[in-house]
Amino acid sequence: MSGNYLPANPFVEWLGRSALKLLGWRIEGKMPALDKFVVIGAHHTSNWDFVIFIALTFVLRLNARWFGKHSIFIWPFAGLLRRMGGIPIQRHLRLNVVDQAIQRFSEHREFVLVLSPEGTRKKVERWRMGFYHIALGAGVPIVPGALDYRNRRVVIGPPFYPTGDMAADLEALLAYFRPYEPKKPQYAFHGG
């Protein structure tokens, strides 16, 4: 079994399935059988997005890593968040997160990093392109994961390989996400 997928844990999988079922959500598509990739989840407009993401990783047994503000990694949750794949980021220190992520990809034979291109739940005027620079620099594809609140589904798309033409690649990725409705549509960035 790939290191990107955790060993079977019936209780954790049941917990994830139960959470998705309770919330009325389903999964469409599947994660690729690749050793390394960046997953982007959009549109990130609500705290519920994180709950759905965690439930999804439980169901898929995905050994995913994700960045979170250092301020959420506090006692008594810090250890649990790290075990769930969390990597604290201290944005105020201006460390080069892209270079750190590329380094992590190079250090591991198998590595999955999940990011939100908005970087926040609030309205944004553009996506943060760190995910793109990480994927391009690490030589890995981007797997889009759309949250569709209207139809209560997470839609996992096919791997997208960045070409280096950032404008064209961004437009292709935005086109993938446009049909899917976030929890708070007024906060979603659709390009332009």
List the chain domain ranges.
28-43+56-184
pTM of the shown model: 0.82
Give the pLDDT score at 138.
96
pLDDT 10s per residue in the chain (192 long)? 455 556 667 888 899 999 999 999 999 999 899 999 999 887 766 778 888 888 888 888 888 887 777 788 888 888 888 777 777 776 655 568 888 888 889 988 989 998 887 655 555 566 778 899 999 999 999 999 999 989 999 999 999 999 999 999 999 998 998 898 877 766 555 565
Give the pLDDT score at 1.
42
- By residue count, the chain amounts to 192
| Of the candidates 161, 147, 132, 144, the residue with the CA atom closest to the CA atom of residue 40 | 144
Give the pLDDT score at 69.
74
Q: How far is CA 27 from CA 18, 20, 146, in A?
A: 13, 9, 10
